[in-house]
Amino acid sequence: MNTHMVSQAKCGKTMLFGLGKRLGRPANRLSAEALAGLGPYADLPAELLQAALEQVETTQVNPGLLKDSLPPDRRTFLQRGSVQIQTRSGTMSLLRAGTAQARYPMPRARDVVSLLATEPCTFVSLPLSVGKAHKLPRQARIDPMQLTVQENTALTALRNSFRSRQRVLPSLPDLALKIGRAMDDPETTNEDIARLIQLDPALTARLVSVVNSAAFGGLSKITSVQQAAARLGRKKVRSLVYSCLLKSIFKIPSPTLRRRMETLWQHSASVAALSFVLGRATPGIDPEQALLAGLIHDIGAISVIDGISEFPILAEREQVLDHVIADLRVEAGIQTLTCWGLQDELQDVVEHAEDWLRMGSAIPDNTDVVILAQLHALIGSPRQAGLPRVDEVPAFCKLVQGELTPSHSLRILEEAAADVREVHSLISSD
């Protein structure tokens, strides 16, 4: 029999769970106070909290590799012990019970390569249906019923053009696509990739400049793309190449919408720079990937703004323009990422970048980073009034090993202000 031992208790009863044998000790029942301390259940009324306790299952495991996938229809939390988690992005994180991060669910099976209990552990789980959804009042947007007949007709036509896949989506520069394909091909060498990048002398110079910058920890100077690839690795180089080339797609011929596109670029570049700095301070986050995530989180808005140029009536009123972009940006963004082959890596960012109270999992990801970066980027802007405080969002509790405070968060960014400006400048260069 497998030496990894697992037992499970439900409503006070101990049962065999998965492979292996029991630990031989009774499972501890979860208290109402402990349940209320878990993120998804923090606001449950007392009567619902008591009802939820009846659906709690407790699982105990010995140290070792967890052979069984976490149940997909339940939220699972680490109550005691510690687990080493390898995510599909390649990062390794250690989750400890009792930390701020452990208030949030274990990551989904599809996001995990392995789970290793480093000591005896206790998990508790509840059905996904338990717990009310956390909702914030949405920012004031125009009621669709207040659109004029002409505006509503135009919006319907624009929406249908996305759903029928008739819209021309923004495309990555050809060189970026070639480099991306080469990076994904295990047969190509760093020298092959370097030769591709060197086809664009301006990109070559920018990439070397980025890697040598203080923000990227360039203590010893490099002079070639080959050295950049050797220092950072292929995945990081790909993220930087895309980030350096993306500004070219934030363009539009329409003079009316050019200012809006420029505002979108400035916001995206600011969020990208902040995401890089926050990602750099958070174990398990690839800062170069966080940079790219920040830059593309609103990528769907490019397609929407471009589409609005064909329906100019939708740009005549600022509130209508805001509504149309907000209504279609996620759908358009997912289509764009799919076209680029980046949907597996970045779709969650596009889909949830403005889902401020997104629970996610106990392990911080790029979506958490982008959410927090956006809230920082919007401080002092007109939009801030309709947003939660930085310390009210779940992402805040997970980043920087769950040790953030409002003042600590600001201090990290203040101390790295020069790096934020430098990264913003590097990705904004033409």
Summarize the confidence of residues 259-277 as an average pLDDT.
94
Partnered with residue 112 across adjacent β-strands are 87
Q: Please indicate whether residue 423 or residue 97 has the higher confidence score (pLDDT).
A: 97
Quote the pLDDT of residue 13. 36
> Domain 144-428 has what CATH class?
mainly alpha
- Asked whether 358 and 371 are in contact (CB, 8 A), the reply is yes
- Residue 397: φ, ψ to 5°: -75, -15
**What percentage of the chain reaches a pLDDT higher than 70?**
86
CB atoms within 10 A of CB 160: 11
Quote the pLDDT of residue 274. 92
Quote the pLDDT of residue 140. 45
What does the pLDDT look like over 239-266, one tens digit per residue? Answer: 999 998 899 899 898 888 999 999 999 9
Residues contacting residue 164 through CB under 8 Å, at least 6 positions apart: none
- Residue 283: φ, ψ to 5°: -55, 140
- Secondary structure, 3-state, the chain: CCCCCEEEEECCEEEECCCCCCCCCCCCCCCHHHHHCCHHHCCCCHHHHHHHHCCCEEEEECCEECCCCCCCCEEEEEEECEEEEEECCCCEEEEECCCCHHHCCCCCHHHEEEEEECCCEEEEEEECCCCCCCCCCCCCCCCHHHCCHHHHHHHHHHHHHHHCCCCCCCCCCHHHHHHHHHHHCCCCCHHHHHHHHCCCHHHHHHHHHHHHCHHHCCCCCCCCHHHHHHHHCHHHHHHHHHHHHHHHHCCCCCHHHHHHHHHHHHHHHHHHHHHHHHHHCCCCCCHHHHHHHHHHCCHHHHHHHHHHCCCHHHHCCHHHHHHHHHHHHHHHHHHHHHHHCCHHHHHHHHHHCCCCCCCCCCCCCHHHHHHHHHHHHCCCCHHHHHCCCHHHCHHHHHHHHHCCCHHHHHHHHHHCHHHHHHHHHHHHCC
Q: State the Cα–Cα distance between residues 413 and 419, nearest whole angstrom.
A: 9
Q: 276: which 2 tokens?
A: 């890089």
pLDDT reading at 317 higher than 70: yes
Q: State the Cα–Cα distance between residues 152 and 147, nearest whole angstrom.
A: 6
Q: State the Cα–Cα distance between residues 41 and 368, nearest whole angstrom.
A: 19
CA angle 371, 340, 366 (to 5 degrees): 20
Give the closest residue to 264 by CA, choosing from 218, 205, 326.
Answer: 326
Averaged pLDDT score across all residues of the chain? 84
Q: Please tell me the pTM assigned to this model.
A: 0.85
pLDDT reading at 270 higher than 90: yes
CA atoms within 13 A on the CB side of 305: 25
Whether 6-127 and 144-428 share one fold: the answer is no
Residues contacting residue 326 through CB under 8 Å, at least 6 positions apart: 139, 141
Residue found by looking up tokens 């998965």 in the block: 18
Q: 308: which 2 tokens?
A: 């609005």
Q: 6-127, what's its fold?
A: Jelly Rolls (2.60.120)
Confidence of residue 41 (pLDDT cuts 50, 70, 90): very high
Q: State the Cα–Cα distance between residues 18 and 5, nearest whole angstrom.
A: 9
Q: 309: which 2 tokens?
A: 């140029």
Quote the pLDDT of residue 135. 47
Quote the pLDDT of residue 95. 94
pLDDT reading at 10 higher than 70: no
- Asked whether 124 and 30 are in contact (CB, 8 A), the reply is yes
Least reliable range by pLDDT among 5-14, 143-152, 294-303, 349-358 = 5-14
Greatest CA separation for the chain: 73
- Asked whether 336 and 170 are in contact (CB, 8 A), the reply is yes
Summarize the confidence of residues 281-294 as an average pLDDT.
90
For the chain, give every domain's residue range.
6-127, 144-428
Residue 224: is it exposed, middle or buried by C-beta count within 10 angstroms (0-12/13-18/19+)? middle
Count of positions (residues) in the chain? 430
Quote the pLDDT of residue 194. 87
Quote the pLDDT of residue 408. 59
Residue 42: is it exposed, middle or buried by C-beta count within 10 angstroms (0-12/13-18/19+)? middle
Residues contacting residue 200 through CB under 8 Å, at least 6 positions apart: 175
| Dihedral, CA of residue 413, residue 295, residue 422 and residue 197, to nearest 10 | 140
Summarize the confidence of residues 32-53 as an average pLDDT.
91
Q: 214: which 2 tokens?
A: 């203080």
